[in-house]
Amino acid sequence: MPLTDIAKLNTFLGETDITSAKIQAIKWATGIIEDYCDREFDQKSRSEWLLANKNNRLVTRAYPIAPGSNAIVREGERAITLTFSGSYGSVISQRDLRNGQDTLTLEADGTVTNLLLSSYANLAALITAINLVTGWSASATGSYTFAHIAPISTPVQSGSTVYLYAPGSLVFDYEVNQEAGIVYLPSATSDYVYISYTAGLETIPSTLEMIATQMAAAALRMKAENPGMKSESFGDYSYTKGDADDLVTPYKISLREWRRI
C-alpha cells in the first residue's frame, strides 16, 4: 500500500488532476522510503523466503507481526534438480517485492528465458516448461505441491547441477519477537526457510505520509527535468540510485525512528 495518495499529493501541489505520472511518483516515493528503512509498512498477510543468520534468527521484511497472527515456518527442501548441457549460463530465482511475483530466469549460451511461476498450475507444469528451454533439463526431486522457489543466483557451465528449493516440512519450537519482527529457529533448521505471517502498521504515521508526499512531488519535478532517468524501477517508474539518494537525504533524520538497523 502506498504511503500517501493522490489527494494528499494534490493538496501539497495545489492541483486537482489525477495523472499516471502522479500515481507512479507515489509508488516511487514509497519504494525508496521502504528500501531505505529496510522494511514494508502496510499491514497485510505475507509469504517470503528468509535466510537465517548464524544465530538461527530470521528478520522479517515487515513488522510488527500482528498480535494473534501465527507465523507458519517451513524448511526449504529440494524440489527440482536442474542439469545444464550448454556451454555457459546462469540460474536466477527471485521475487519482485513490489508485486509478490516470483520469476525463474534461465540463461543458456546467451539466450535468456524468464518463467513467471504463477503461470504454472503445479510443479510438473513448471518442469515441463523448463525442459523446453534449450540447454536445460529438469526433474522433480520430491513430491511438492507448486509453491514459491527459494531465491538463487548462480553461474553455470556444462554439466552443472543446480537445486531449486520449495517450502517443505513445518518447523516447530520456534520463538517470535512480534514487535521487532524476529523469528528464532531451532538449531537444526536449514538455512532458507519459508514463512507466512501478517505484519505491518495498521495506520501509516502522519510523518511517513508527509515525507512520501513531499518526495513524490520532488520525483515529479525530477522526472520532468530528466525524462530519461532509469536503472532501477518500482512498477513502471524508473530512477537512478543517485536520484534516489538525493531524494531521501533531506529526510534521513526524520526516517531514523522507522528504519530497521
What average pLDDT does the chain have?
87
Res. 222: pLDDT tops 60:
yes
pLDDT digits (tens, 9 = 90+) for 97-145: 556 678 999 999 999 999 998 888 888 889 999 999 999 999 988 766 6
CA 176 from chain center: how many Å?
21
Identify the burial level of 256 via C-beta atoms within 10 angstroms of its C-beta, where 0-12 means exposed, 13-18 middle and 19 or more buried. exposed
30-39 per-residue burial string, b: 16 or more CB within 10 A, e: under 16: bbbbbebbeb
pLDDT value at residue 235: 46
pLDDT digits (tens, 9 = 90+) for 42-72: 999 988 888 888 788 889 999 999 988 778 9
Which amino acid, one-letter code, is at 5? D
Cα-based torsion angle of the residue sequence 253, 258, 259, 260 in order, rounded to the nearest 10 degrees: 150
Identify the burial level of 76 via C-beta atoms within 10 angstroms of its C-beta, where 0-12 means exposed, 13-18 middle and 19 or more buried. buried
Cell of 111: 539466450
Q: How confident is the model at residue 238 (pLDDT cuts 50, 70, 90)?
A: low
pLDDT value at residue 145: 63
**80-84, 94-98, 127-131, 152-156 — which is least confidently predicted?**
94-98
Fill in the DSSP letter of residue 199.
E
Radius of gyration of the CA atoms of the chain, in A: 21
Does the N-terminal peptide bond of residue 2 adopt cis geometry, omega within 30 degrees of 0?
no
Strand spans (E) along the chain: 44-51, 57-59, 72-84, 88-96, 101-108, 111-116, 136-140, 152-157, 161-170, 175-177, 182-184, 192-199, 232-234, 237-239
Which amino acid, one-letter code, is at 53? N
